[in-house]
Chains A and B, each alone.
Chain A
């Protein structure tokens, strides 16, 4: 499993961890029932604090992506992938809506926006993941 943490990012580290694990679950890279690294192990490997990884896992559990079984481990939970994808798509639509409204207000042509999206897609996929904030 690959997790890339940026210390200069404005996004809190726990959120970076959470979003990346979530992404791997949604895209099926991590399958339901997979055993994830322990809170302490992950903290050591990412060289961050225990509280940070604990926060990330607790949020993932709250949102239903993982199940934490005391003294056994943390497992990827069974999730409804279609539903999750639908939700994400809704969120994206909202952002695009805002962008288009703003473009129209400033008289920017449709093809400029499409070109912009095209360029962003070509860039490093990591950057793309965080460009929303």
Chain B
């Protein structure tokens, strides 16, 4: 499988924050969820991919090409939604259609109008009259209407109600029906990702903590709950993080099967991405 997105040792230093050797890759036809707490570096990474901020070092390939050398051609073929709205408030959806026709060679006015209808967005009202959810939907369909191969989305579902989120997620899954189209999306709504994402990349304090298929994470990782006395018997090599609560220990393990073979502890819970994030960030390291 070819990679549609490849990041190798990306570095960017600010006074009080840095991206450090960020590396991950996304195979063609897949959806990657990019997770991490606020300020972990998700938006910075996305902006570096798009060359909105200049990287200090590292290699970035989008659609198999260097993101700086062929920036212009690449941008014709990707769709982007960033967290901050970028359309002037006085424009209408119809104005956007007219403007985008000149921006993208492959802009599809018909498709854009179909999406407007589908999401019940008025074409003749200025954007300032739109609700937050309507604005987000408008941004997403604008990113989709020139038939991109890669979608890069920063928090696309934040501010949307459950119904609208489902509609948007359906739209994303429609988009990847074509086997060459892929999506990188950052999100706090980890339940969204639990459904549709193929890969999960987890960033914390500017470093990638893990980047794996979602099924691997949700099926193999687990949370062991036990008493102190049992915890003392566990080899620190066999867990990733632990957290001491008032009544019990919570231990994040990488492989449930292996753990069950070795220890006689009954309570191993299935884990959600939220649990993973919380334990990885708040839990204590083993060594």
Contact = CB atoms under 8 A, between A and B. Distances in A.
Interface stretch (A37-45, A59-67, A91-99): A37-45
A47 B173 contact: yes
A56 B29 CA distance: 17
A44 B214 contact: no
Contacts of A20: none
A47 B198 contact: no
Q: When A and B form their complex, which 9 residue pairs have the shortest distance between CB atoms, in order from nearest?
A: A44-B173, A51-B198, A49-B198, A12-B219, A40-B177, A47-B195, A50-B198, A51-B213, A51-B215
Interface in A1-44: 7, 10, 12-14, 40-41, 43-44
Contacts of A13: 215
Interface of A is mostly: helix
Given A47-B196, A49-B31, A50-B31, A55 B215 contact: yes
Contact of A49 (B170, B177, B196, B219): B196
A49 B169 contact: no
Given A49-B196, A50-B29, A50-B198, A14 B173 contact: no
12 contacts: A7-B194, A12-B215, A40-B179, A44-B173, A47-B170, A47-B173, A49-B197, A49-B198, A49-B214, A49-B215, A50-B176, A51-B198
Nearest to A55: B215
Nearest to A11: B219
A19 B270 CA distance: 20
B174 interface: yes
B4 interface: no
Interface residues on A, range: 10 to 19
A51 B30 contact: yes
B214 A43 contact: no
Interface residues of B, number: 22
B270 A43 contact: no
Interface string B151-169: 0000000000000000001
Contacts of B219: 12
Contact of B196 (A7, A12, A48, A55): A48
Most chain A CB neighbours (cut-off 10 Å) among B31, B174, B176, B195: B195
Interface in B18-55: 29-31
Contacts of A52: 215
Contacts of B214: 49, 51
Contacts of B218: 12
Nearest to A52: B215
B30 A44 contact: no
A41 B198 CA distance: 15
A48 B170 CA distance: 11
A83 B72 CA distance: 60
Contacts of B173: 40, 43-44, 47
Interface string B218-261: 11000000000000000000000000000000000000000000
Contacts of A47: 169-170, 173, 195-196
A41 B177 contact: yes
Contacts of B170: 44, 47
Given A48-B196, A49-B215, A51-B213, 4 more contacts: A43-B173, A44-B173, A48-B195, A49-B197
A120 B256 CA distance: 29
A49 B215 CA distance: 9
B219 to A, nearest CB: 5
